[in-house]
Structures are given as C-alpha cells and as structure tokens.
Structure 1
Amino acid sequence: MGDSLKRLLQRLIRRIPTQMLKLTLEKWGRLTKAQQQSMDFTQPKWVLTERLLGICEENEWTVKHITELEMIYVMDNPNQGMWNAFQLIDPEDDFQSVELMKFKEQFKYHLGELVKHVSVKMKKHTDEAVWIRIAWGDSFSRPNHLKPTYVVHQLQAPYVYVTSLTLKQKPLLSQALILATRYQALKDANLSGRNLTAIRDLLMRQYQQVFPTRYPSPLAEKNETVSNTHIEREQAMFAANRHRMSCEAFGDGTLPQLQSVVYKLETKFRDHTNKTMSEREEPFRCVVKFASTNILESLRHCASSGIVSTPVTPLLSSIPLKGKNYFVITDNGPGPSSQKRQPQS
C-alpha cells in the first residue's frame, strides 16, 4: 500500500465518527461478511483504523475505492464545511435541460482539457442532485486527494453549490460547468453557509414564503397612565403587532439554517464634527457581520420580542427575499432618494 493511499484512508476514518462508521462501511459494501464480523466497533478509533488498513492491503483497494467511501460519508453528512452558492445565467437559445450521462461526459472532458492532472468522480444523490468530487493537480503534480473540492448541482435548476474551492481553481470549475450545462456565465449568488439544505432551500424557495405587506406602518408607542389591565392589553397588542411584522419579514414557519450575514459598507462618512473623514472623496469602507447558529431565526425573534424596531428594515428582510447573506451597501446616486442606503445585488 502506498503512503498516499494510507494517509487518505487514515484521514477519512478520523473524520467519520465511530458511531457512524459501521453504517457507512455497510453502505460502501466493499467488506466481505467475514471482514465485517472482524470489526469490533467498541474498540478505540486507532484500532479500527489499523484493522481497515490491513483489510485495504488485503483487498488491494485503490484510491478509487477510498474516494468512493469518502463520497458516501460526505453526501450523508454535507454540513461539514462552508458551502458557497453560484447561479448559472444566460442559457443558450436552444437550451434544454442536460441529461445526466451527457453532463458527466461533457464536464469531465472540458475540465480535463483545462487541467492536465485532475481526478473527477460523480455520484447521483437520491434527491436527483449530482455530487462531484474533484481532486486538483496541475502540469507538474498529481491530483491531491487530501484536499478535494465538492460540487453539488441539480440539472433542472441553475444553481451550483461548492465547498473547498480556491481562487485559482474557481475559473477552471466555472468554465467547465458553463460548457457542460450550456449556460453562458456563472455568477456568485452571494449566499454561503455550513448547512447545504438551508442555502438550497433559500435559493429554490423551498420553505414557507415571505409575504410582506406593501405599506407597513410603524408601531405607535403610548405612555399613558392606565390600569394594569389596560397596560397588559396594550402590551399584548404591541407584542401581536411585532410578531405579525416579524412574520411578514421572515415568514412564520421553519426557516433555513444560516450561520451568518455580512454587510460590506461603501458609503460616505457623515459627521460634521469630523471634517477630515467627511470631506474624503473615497467612500468609507467597513464590514459588519452578524453570526448565530440560526441567524434568520435569531433576527425574527429580535423583531418579535422588540429588541429591534419594526417594521423590519430591508437590510434584514432582504436575506430571505433575495436568497442572499452577503450584501454591499452603497450610497444611491443623486436625486430625492440620495440619502437612502439600500443593499445592492
């Protein structure tokens, strides 16, 4: 067994939790019945790893077999890395949805033309999505299977989800996808997160839709001295209004689980006490990031509980409406609305 194959298997087994290892190996189906029975999953992970290394040498497994095992684990547990969403745009005039076999053939061919040494493995998921594992090499080195890129694409939808992609690899993947799907461009959807299902649901609108009112009215606050019963009734009314407005912005069902939202500010600095900054021609730039285990749920709770004002600002409600969690905020051009700042696409 080569050192590279040994490291690949060792690294993969370390990634798979012990309680999931048995089921993953069964799905893989490469172990004989006797070999399965020889595996004691109550033993420490290092003992199991040594046993699998021995079976690997005994069965003469190759990199192809180990990457197959890795794909099974990653497809069953996709929320292990940061996923970035992209959108295919401008389909060709005679565009028709590409068949799976033709897509596989075209993608492998075009990527192989762009990269001398590259390894591509594809597998169709039960939800009809095509999962692609890419191990990148270059003109001088063989494919690095320890740092693969994963790509998920549903052929009937113009969206692609990618994890572990470098800036150098991005244009290569983009061109291969464009040629294989018969679109003309691939653009960043400005949506990312660790939960693949969440970002897919946002883009595909596969969750309870948000239906904001056209003319939301701000909440009226009163400071009248009234009896406790009236105070409770009024507070209940305010709470109900806040809840309604938060639901208008984010919906009232289960929300896709995003971990963050980022606002990149490129605006003029306005402060009459600081002329040095205010008179600068260059815009003031900074980045604001909100993070949570479920940022949409957190924002909805903040609105309904009164932590943030209602109606919910478009800066927040744009997340589910536009299916994005990365925004660039700039000053509008001259005109009546020049003082307003809105998230840009």
Structure 2
Amino acid sequence: MEDSTRRVLQRLIRRIPTPQLKTTLEKWSGMTVAQRGSMDYTQTKWALTEKLLSLCEENDWTTKHITELEMIYVIDNPNQGMWHGFQLLDPEDDAHSVELTQFKEQFKSHLGELVRHVSVKIKKHTDEAVWIRIAWGDSFSRPNHLKPTYVVHHLQTPYVFVTGLTSKQKPLLSQALVLSTRHHTIKDANLSGRKLTAIRDLLMKQYQQVFPTNFPSPLAEKNETVSNPKIEREQAGPGAHRHQMACEAFGDGMLPQLQSAVYKLETKFKDHTNRTMTERDEPFKCIVKFESTNLLESLRYCAASGIASTPVTPLLSSIPLKGRNYFVITDNGPGPSSQMHQSQN
C-alpha cells in the first residue's frame, strides 16, 4: 500500500463519526461479507483505523478504492463544507439532450486537456444528481486526494453546486463544465451555504412558493394561541394580511435552511449633520450580515408577526426571489435611493 493511500484512508476514517462508519462501510464494495463481520464498532477510532489499514494491505486497496468510500460518505453527508451555487448560461440547441455517459466522457476529456495531472470520479446519485470528485494536480505534481473538489450537477438543468474549489482551479472547472454541458458561459449565482439541500432548493425553486394574485385569499395563521375574542376579531384582518405578504415574500411551509445573507454596502454617506463624511468623494463601505439557523423562516416570522414592516423590503425578499444571499448595494444616481447590483466577484 502506498503512503498516499494510507494517508487518504487515515484522514477519511478520522472524518467519519463512529456511529456512521458501519453504515458507510456496508454501502462500499471494497470489503467482503466476512471482513464486514469482523469489524467491532465498539472499539476506539484508533483501533478501527488500524483494522482498516490492515484490511487495506490484505485487499491491496488503491487510492481509487478509498475515494469511492469517501464519495459514499460525502453524498450521504453533504453538509461538511461551504457550498457555492453557479448557473450555466446560453445553452446550445442540443444542451437538453446531454446524457450521463456523454457528460462523463466529455467532462473528463476537457478537464484532462486543461490539467496534466488530475483525477476525476463521477457518480450518479439516486436523486438524479451527478456527483463529481476532482483531485487536482499540475504539470509537476500528482493529484492531491487530501483536498478534493466536489461538484454536484443535475443534468438538463443550468445549476451547479461546488465545494472545495480554489480561485486557481475555478476557471479550469468552469471551462470543462461549459463545454461538457453544451453551454457558452457560467456565472457565480452569489449563493452559498453549508447545507447543500438548502441552496439547491432555493436556487432551483424547489420549495412551496406563494404567488400574489388580484384577489388573494388569506392563508391560515399557524400556531395561534387563544386570546380575547374581541381582540382576535380586530386583529384578524391585519394579521392575515401580514401572514399573506410574508408567505408571498419568503414562501410557505418548510423553507430551505439558509443560514446567512451578506449585504456589501458601497454607498454615499448621507447625514446632513456630518459634513465630513457626507462630502467625501469615496463611497461609504461596510458589510451587513444576517445569520440564523433558518434565516428565511426567521424573516418570514418577523414579517408575519409584525416585528418587521410589510410589504417586505426588496433587500430581504430578493433572497428567495433571486436565489441569492450575497448582494452589493450601490447608489442609484445622485438621489437618496439605492439599488442592488449583481456582484461580479
């Protein structure tokens, strides 16, 4: 067994929590039934690692086998790093007809032309998502399997989700994706988070949305407590209206668990009492960040309960509307109003 394979296996076993190790190994084809039965999961992580290292020697596992095991774990537990959303643009006429075998061949071929030493493994998940694991090398070094990039793409859609990508690798991956999916370009969707399912559902609109109508019917209030009937009758109309507007802005039912939203301000400082700052030519710059275990749920509650005013400001409603959680706010001309411009970063 090569030292590089040993290091990859050791790192992976340390990464997998002991309660999940058995489930992950049972999905892997690298062990025989007898070898699976010989594993004692009541042992310490160190003892389990040593056992697997001995089996690695016995079975002559290669890095290829270990990366297959890693992909099983990452696919089942995707919320391990920061995921970033991208969108493919300008599809060619035959973009909708690209199927898995063709995509795999094209992607590996194009990336191999751009990078001399690169290792690519592609696996289709049960939800039809194509998972790609890339270990990057260069002209002089072998692929580094300790720091892989993971890419998730649903064929016949323009959406791509990536984690573990450096700025140096980004143009290489972008070119390979554009060519293999039959598109002309790809852009940063300015959407990121640690929960892959959350940013996927938000960008692909896979959650219960509420659309305004000319004659909206108020949605039923949820989790209401019994209070004075007269007060209830007086507040029923405004309360239902707030709830309707909150759901139109953020969605109804279970919302994607987005954890943050960032607003980068590059505006003129406006305060007639502070001439020093107001008369500066340079824009006033700061960053405002909202964080929550479920940001959209929190914002919806604030609007529905009256904590935040309705209609909801576009600064907040643009998160689900545009499928983004990173905004750059700049002045819209000489007046006091401002607008959100898409970041080019």
Same-fold call, TM > 0.5?
A: yes
Q: Describe the SS at the equivalent of 2:192.
A: strand
Looking at structure 2, the residues matched to 263 and 214 of structure 1 have their Cα atoms a distance apart, in angstroms, of: 32
Looking at structure 2, the residues matched to 115 and 164 of structure 1 have their Cα atoms a distance apart, in angstroms, of: 17
Partner of 1:124: 124
Question: Which amino acid is the alignment partner of residue 278 of structure 2?
Answer: S
Partner of 2:301: 301
Task: Check if 1:81 corresponds to 2:81.
Answer: yes
Partner of 1:245: 245
Partner of 1:68: 68
Q: Describe the SS at the equivalent of 1:28.
A: coil
Structure 1 contact 210–321 (Cα < 8 Å) conserved: no
Q: Describe the SS at the equivalent of 2:87.
A: strand
Partner of 1:310: 310
Task: Check if 1:341 corresponds to 2:327.
Answer: no
Looking at structure 1, the residues matched to 19 and 214 of structure 2 have their Cα atoms a distance apart, in angstroms, of: 51
Distance 1:121 1:283, change over 3 A: same
Give how far 1:232 is off. 5.0
Cα deviation, 1:1-24, whole Å, max 9, x if unaligned, reads 222211111111111111111111
Looking at structure 2, the residues matched to 239 and 94 of structure 1 have their Cα atoms a distance apart, in angstroms, of: 50
Give how far 1:213 is off. 6.0
Cα deviation, 1:91-145, whole Å, max 9, x if unaligned, reads 1245443121111111111111111111111001111111000001111211110
Looking at structure 2, the residues matched to 214 and 290 of structure 1 have their Cα atoms a distance apart, in angstroms, of: 32
Task: Check if 1:265 corresponds to 2:262.
Answer: no
Looking at structure 2, the residues matched to 280 and 47 of structure 1 have their Cα atoms a distance apart, in angstroms, of: 64
Partner of 1:225: none
Give the percent of matched residue pairs that are identical in Structure 1 and Structure 2.
77
Question: Which amino acid is the alignment partner of residue 344 of structure 1?
Answer: H
Partner of 1:51: 51
Cα deviation, 1:231-255, whole Å, max 9, x if unaligned, reads 4543444433322221221122110
Structure 2 contact 96–156 (Cα < 8 Å) conserved: no
Partner of 2:111: 111
Structure 2 contact 209–247 (Cα < 8 Å) conserved: no
Looking at structure 2, the residues matched to 272 and 23 of structure 1 have their Cα atoms a distance apart, in angstroms, of: 64
TM-score (normalised: structure 2): 0.91
Question: How many residues are paired up?
Answer: 331
Cα deviation, 1:278-337, whole Å, max 9, x if unaligned, reads 112222111111011111011111112222122211111111111111111111136xxx
Q: Which one is further off, 94-103 or 27-36? A: 94-103
Looking at structure 2, the residues matched to 279 and 69 of structure 1 have their Cα atoms a distance apart, in angstroms, of: 60
Structure 2 contact 178–184 (Cα < 8 Å) conserved: yes
Partner of 2:138: 138
Partner of 1:222: none
Looking at structure 1, the residues matched to 286 and 190 of structure 2 have their Cα atoms a distance apart, in angstroms, of: 17
Q: Describe the SS at the equivalent of 2:10.
A: helix
Question: Which amino acid is the alignment partner of residue 62 of structure 1?
Answer: T
Looking at structure 2, the residues matched to 95 and 258 of structure 1 have their Cα atoms a distance apart, in angstroms, of: 30
Q: Describe the SS at the equivalent of 2:239.
A: helix
Cα deviation, 1:56-92, whole Å, max 9, x if unaligned, reads 0100000000000000110111111111000000112
Question: Which amino acid is the alignment partner of residue 290 of structure 1?
Answer: F
1:1-345 matches, cutoff 5 A: 1-212=1-212, 230-231=230-231, 233-333=233-333, 338-345=335-342
Q: Give the unaligned 5+ runs of structure 1.
A: 217-227
Give how far 1:341 is off. 2.1
Looking at structure 2, the residues matched to 298 and 286 of structure 1 have their Cα atoms a distance apart, in angstroms, of: 23
Looking at structure 1, the residues matched to 341 and 33 of structure 2 have their Cα atoms a distance apart, in angstroms, of: 58
Looking at structure 1, the residues matched to 34 and 233 of structure 2 have their Cα atoms a distance apart, in angstroms, of: 71
Structure 2 contact 130–155 (Cα < 8 Å) conserved: yes
Partner of 2:219: none
